[in-house]
Amino acid sequence: MASNRRALVTGASAGIGEAFARELARRGHDLVLTARRADRLEALARELRDRHGIEVIVAPLDLAWPDGVEALVAALDAQALTIDVLVNNAGYGVTGYFDEQPWPVHAAFIQVLMTAPTELAYRLLPGMKARGYGRIVNVASLAGHVPGSAGHTLYAASKAYLIRFSQSLALEGKGTGVHATAVCPGFTYSEFHDVTGSRALVSRMPSFMWMDAPTVARQGLDAVEAGKAVYVNGRVNRLIKGFFKLIPDALALKLVERQGRRFRTGPHRG
């Protein structure tokens, strides 16, 4: 990527989003960083400005706020700040069965993991097309390539949505200079499983199943540069994806059910 392009990274206060911000800064991009924890964003912005001499703008925002994306884009427009690279990364998980959570919990999840990334792409795409350059990275998950599990009900669905959405955007972008990629990590060291409350359970996963966030981000940016519509990080994760594509759907669902029982505790373990 050429230098002095500007990238907007959501969920830049931790984990994979922070790693995307660091990698984009290393590649010479100016940045707009967003998440709820302004103190973390400010600290990262200071560090990246000092280290790379780039411009970093901090835009704290709760993406669960339905008007948040519109307000963010309006604020960028008001300052004539164009966005060349969009990294839709912010996300989290909701534990338990679907009917165990009050509706507002699911509504916020859909807003943050599906509506906000879709709206950001929608609002930023026309400018990218007009300038003949754009990169849209949607951080999906290996979970979007395998059947939905019991518990975390909307998670796999939201990631499958991002994968399909990215594929359509990638096709529509052909010839316009805009590339879209769904980046699909498997287990990645970050704060995700602490926030979700599943740290103790996922810690039982063998170490070869885990990747670090900087590698995920670096590979994700390389994939969007290479024009890949979907990229699964890591050989093990690609093998898992390939295996689930080969076997019949009913068997895939059974395997997910069995695996889910091994890695779940509480009333739904049986």
Ligand X SMILES: NC(=O)c1ccc[n+]([C@@H]2O[C@H](COP(=O)([O-])OP(=O)(O)OC[C@H]3O[C@@H](n4cnc5c(N)ncnc54)[C@H](OP(=O)(O)O)[C@@H]3O)[C@@H](O)[C@H]2O)c1
| Structure tokens given for 238 | 């690609």
What is the footprint of ligand X within residues 53-72 (CB under 6 A)?
Answer: 62-64
Residue with tokens 């519509």: 229
263 near ligand X (CB under 6 A): no
185 binds ligand X (CB under 6 A): yes
CA distance 20 to 10: 10
Residue whose CB is less far from ligand X, 48 or 90: 90
Q: How far apart are CA 104 and CA 88, in angstroms?
A: 22
Binding mask 94-133 for ligand X (x = CB under 6 A): ------------------x---------------------
Is the Cβ–Cβ distance between 44 and 21 less than 8 Å? yes
Please tell me what DSSP assigns to residue 100.
G
Is residue 11 near ligand X by the rule CB under 6 A? yes
Q: Give the footprint of ligand X on residues 141-180 (CB under 6 A).
A: 141
> Which listed residue (155, 161, 189, 231) is catalytic?
155
Closest CA to 197 of 167, 257, 233, 152: 152
Query: CB neighbours of 160 closer than 8 A, spacing ≥ 6?
Result: 140, 144, 145
Q: Which two tokens stand for residue 152?
A: 């975390």
- In whole angstroms, the minimum distance from the beta carbon of 205 to ligand X comes to 10
Q: Judged by CB under 6 A, which of 190, 217, 231, 234 binds ligand X?
A: 190
Task: Return the half-sphere exposure (C-beta side, CA atoms, 13 A cut-off) of residue 99.
Answer: 1
DSSP single-letter state for residue 135:
E
Q: List the structure tokens of 154.
A: 């909307």
Identity (one letter) of the amino acid at 156?
A
Is 189 an annotated catalytic residue?
Answer: no
Q: Does 181 bind ligand X (CB under 6 A)?
A: no
Cα(175)–Cα(110) distance, rounded to whole angstroms? 31
Pick the piece of the chain touching ligand X (CB under 6 A) from 46-54, 73-81, 184-192, 244-252. 184-192
Segment lying near ligand X (by CB under 6 A), choices 75-83, 89-97, 127-135, 168-176: 89-97
Instruction: Pick one of 153, 166, 188, 198: the residue that binds ligand X (CB under 6 A).
Output: 188
CB of 156 to ligand X, least distance (A): 11
Binding site for ligand X (CB under 6 A): 11-17, 35-37, 62-64, 89-92, 112, 139, 141, 185, 187-188, 190-192, 195
Residues acting as catalytic residues: 155
